Amino acid sequence: MPDTDPDATTGLLPRVRAAESEPAPAPVFVDASGRRRRVAHRLAVGAFLAAGGYALMVVWSLLGGPVSPNSLVPFSAPHPAVSPARPSQSAQAAATAPATGSAPSATSGAGTGTVAETSTTLAPTKAATTAPASVPASASASATGRRPTTSPGKPTSSPTAGHGH
Amino acid sequence: MAARRGRRRAARAVPPRAHWLVLLVTVVLLTGILALDGLVHDEVGGEGSGGPHVPGSAAQVPAAILHGGPVIDTRDGAANSYQPLPGRIALSFDDGPDPTWTPQILAVLARYHVPGTFFLVGGRVAQYPDLVRREVAAGDEIGIHTFTHDDLGTASETRRNFEFSQTQSVIEGAAGVSTPLLRPPYSSEPDALDDLDWAAVQDAGAHGYVTVLTDRDSLDWERPGVAKIVANVLPATGTPGLLVMMHDAGGNRAQTLAALKILIPKLQARGYRFTTVSGLIGQRSPLAPATSAQRLRGQVLIDAVRGSGIVVTGLAWAIAVTGGLSVIRLLLLLVAAGIHHRRRRRPRAAAASRPVPVSVIVPAYNEEKGIAATIESLLRTHHPLEIIVVNDGSTDRTAEIALRYAGNRVNVITQPNSGKPGALNTGIAQARCPILVLLDGDTVFEPDAIPRLAAYFADPTVGAVSGNAKVGNRKGLLGRWQHIEYVVGFNLDRRLYDLAGCMPTVPGAIGAFRREALDAVGGVSDDTLAEDTDLTMAVLRAGWRAVYAPDAIAWTEAPASLGQLWKQRYRWSYGTMQAMWKHRRAMFERGGSGRLGRRGLSYLLLFQVLLPLLAPLVDVFAVWGLIFGQALEMGAVWLGFLAVQLAASWYAFRLDGERARVLWSVPLQQFVYRQLMYLVVIQSVVTALIGSRLRWQRMERRGMSAPPSGGAPAVPPQRSARQSAAGQL
């Protein structure tokens, strides 16, 4: 121990050199035991597996098939109007279908009374509206009629307390 | 790597291979990381999203939609549009989340206790998932606004699918909910839909999305002024149902914030009830919980995006630091070279006193093609000298040729092959003069090189003198590049080393040592593959100075093929690292040794080990930037750096009296040469780390006694090339 201290502080050259040139059976850096190589190999393999594994997960995340919205429940009824696709008559027919069909599907799918109630309330409005031009009027009519009875969504139910900031 | 030495016997390398795989994987991963980062940043306002298409015909759009409400449900294959209920108003905010503005918007909404609806850009969700969580927790509604803010009208089906799915996925990962609401980027009111938009709306329905447009575009993104935004939103009379479109990202949203603070109280005073989009049309909240698999999938992407953001930021810093250091280094070199050149500490010529005799030691292993020229060039020297040729077990006609010159000035010693350090030590033991010049067996000296080297020893503190080695074979791109590298290395780096008193290498091609210095360090060690560096460092640590003699010129031959250059540089790089490690304690020593350690070793560590290790990442980053990023900026930075480099090279050429015309090939160096230089360093570092060198060194020895397969580089035009080059000057 006392030998090393002067080395560090005064840098006595002869001893340093003697210490270096004396043994040196293996050239600088060489690890004859091969231990460093094994450790490096293991580290590399480990890093490779970790990085590759995560990369695969990212690929899965990016390309793993389409992600669709979970709630495919239809809206409780096309409340103002159905808009038939203009070009074809068949589309018009198709467009009418959901309006009438939405009430059952809403009741069965969501299973909530509110939705069913809303749809039934709205169904007549829909039936009454045939021309797109009348949409705004009917919409306001239905809305005025409905406002007190409906509390469908949680945000709308209580404008002040609902937004829990 | 600065040029330092003349050609040496190329070692037969058996390099490890696995690290190239590691490098390849690293580069591939890095490319992926850059791609991911580019994907999430290529959104609002990004150059990549080419903006909206020019509106076209709306013949396909049903009139009921065009003139209908702002919420369009095409999920069941039909087309139902919904009008806002009167007396209700929904504020919707597009393009977020944004770390600056979204929290402020949320704060305003909270202050007035009103909910909002946020249409989120997937790339931003991945970057700021916490904000989405906050929005959902606050009771706000969220919807998708595509992943990259792409125009859905012109996007391909695959692209749309990606835009929908990825945005949904990251929202699920971020907030654990799934949303069926979509606002197409660049959309406004229903009557602005054209056929392309309509097709996209129908496609969105097929994917399960309800398209949410607006009937009250605040146009806040134009930043028209707070008053204008307020006027755009506020209805003239009454309380018609309103779906207001605003933005919480994509630029400075201070006006939006200010307008909200005016609008909300005004509208509340008018009797409006604030709600979300679903509430506006009398529906329940459409948000549904996501499954844990969906959350995981989104979380993976969010983490990857965050990780890539960190990597890219780190890389950008690394590149900035690299660039900064490189420029500082070049400037430092320029200044140092200028000072060194002006001082011109040319020692009072030996004419003053009697010239000190010099022993020249020529280690020769299979140098039959060059040895004659080497000896003849030495014999032309007007200086008292003895020439000791050490034939190190050559298997060709080296000995025979050398012996032709044997006489009173030339002494030929033949010994069994023992490697260059052994050959040098044999010569040193035989030498009788106080100054020893060491050179390679194929170096051609200028006639006045030796007296010029010797003159520096008039200063008793000088233990070693480096000459100026020049490339003789400058034909071809590879020769030119090495020529440039040598001129720059010898005229800039070496002058800096000289000034700073930390010369790490007196080159094996042309260097002179004081006898006492050699004796003090015990001759040439074979601990490293760069015995000249090792020797120089040892001499410096023993307390002597090493200086540079720019006017002592020797011609050397550079490797003529990439393979040979690779082997040579591998040895240099690895050997230099060995020598640095061997002499690492110089870092903590005092005097000349400390100067070597703290200045020389640090410089080498930084510029010849660490920066080259970063270089491949810099290249990947630069290529990526050129192709996908700001090509103009990238190009400008690159050109600027090149200009500094060219200026430095030009100055070096001027100092050396070389013609600067070859500098046209400097820009091309960026392509093959630069990569070769850093790959060599990577290979050396890996070799050093895993410690697998012993085999190679033994191989080398065996290779030296075997026929020269990878031994001496082919040299047919060597002499003529060298002499013609010498003649030009």
Distance between CA atoms of residues B181 and B172, nearest Å: 13
- Helix boundaries (H) for B73-181: 101-111, 122-127, 129-137, 157-175
Interface probe with B: pick from A7, A54, A71, most Cβ of B within 10 Å: A71
Distance between CA atoms of residues B147 and B159, nearest Å: 10
Using CB atoms within 10 Å of the CB of residue A50, give its burial: 0 to 12 exposed, 13 to 18 middle, 19+ buried: exposed
Q: With contact defined as beta carbons under 8 Å apart, do B432 and B321 qualify?
A: no
Q: In angstroms, what CA-CA distances link B49 with A65, B41, B53, B304?
A: 24, 10, 11, 22
Domain B320-728 grouped into CATH 3.40.50.720: no
DSSP state at residue B492: I
Q: With contact defined as beta carbons under 8 Å apart, do B42 and B49 qualify?
A: yes
Q: What is the pTM of this model?
A: 0.74
Reply yes or no: is the peptide bond before residue B97 cis, omega within 30 of 0: yes
Chain A contact present for B467, CB below 8 A: no
Give residues 77 to 106 of A whose Cβ lies within 8 Å of B: 78-87, 91, 94-95, 97-99
Chain B contact present for A123, CB below 8 A: no
Residue A40 has pLDDT above 60, yes or no: yes
Nearest CB to B694; choose among A32, A156, A163 = A32
Interface probe with A: pick from B61, B76, B102, B587, most Cβ of A within 10 Å: B76
- Specify the pLDDT at position B693: 55
Distance from CA of A159 to the nearest CA of B (A): 6
> Where in the sequence numbering do the catalytic residues of B fall?
94, 247
Q: Domain B63-290 adopts which CATH fold?
A: TIM Barrel (3.20.20)
Cβ distance B694 to A146 less than 8 Å, yes or no, reads no
pLDDT band at A72 (very low <50, low <70, confident <90, very high): low
Q: With contact defined as beta carbons under 8 Å apart, do B548 and B465 qualify?
A: yes
Nearest CB to B578; choose among A27, A84, A156 = A27
Place of tokens 């990569």: B675
Distance between CA atoms of residues B80 and B65, nearest Å: 8
Distance between CA atoms of residues B211 and B81, nearest Å: 9
Distance between CA atoms of residues B448 and A85, nearest Å: 97
What residue ranges do the domains of chain B occupy? 63-290, 320-728
Contacts of B283 in chain A (CB under 8 A): 75-76, 118, 152-153
Distance between CA atoms of residues B220 and B226, nearest Å: 8
- Specify the pLDDT at position B500: 94
Residue A8, number of CB atoms within 10 A of its CB: 11
- Specify the pLDDT at position A93: 39
Residues of chain B with pLDDT under 70: 1-17, 42-50, 344-353, 629, 692-729
Cβ distance B694 to A30 less than 8 Å, yes or no, reads yes
Chain A contact present for B487, CB below 8 A: no
Give the phi and the psi of residue B712 in degrees, each rounded to 5: -65, 130
- Specify the pLDDT at position A159: 35
Place of tokens 């409005």: A125
ipTM for the predicted complex comes to 0.70
Residue of A nearest to B543 (CA): A13
Cβ distance A75 to B82 less than 8 Å, yes or no, reads yes
Distance between CA atoms of residues B524 and B423, nearest Å: 9
Cβ distance B301 to A61 less than 8 Å, yes or no, reads yes
Cβ distance B109 to A163 less than 8 Å, yes or no, reads yes
Q: Give me chain B's average pLDDT, please.
A: 87
Q: With contact defined as beta carbons under 8 Å apart, do B315 and B617 qualify?
A: yes
Q: pLDDT for B107-156, tens place per residue?
A: 999 999 999 999 999 999 999 999 999 999 999 999 999 998 889 999 99
Give residues 268 to 287 of B whose Cβ lies within 8 Å of A: 273-276, 278-279, 281-287
Question: Two tokens at A39?
Answer: 């450790």
Alpha carbons within 13 A on the beta-carbon side of B649: 24
Task: Select from B499, B516, B207, B449 the least CA-distant residue to B333.
Answer: B499
Q: In angstroms, what CA-CA distances link B717 with A4, B291, B553, B714?
A: 56, 75, 21, 9
Chain B contact present for A41, CB below 8 A: yes
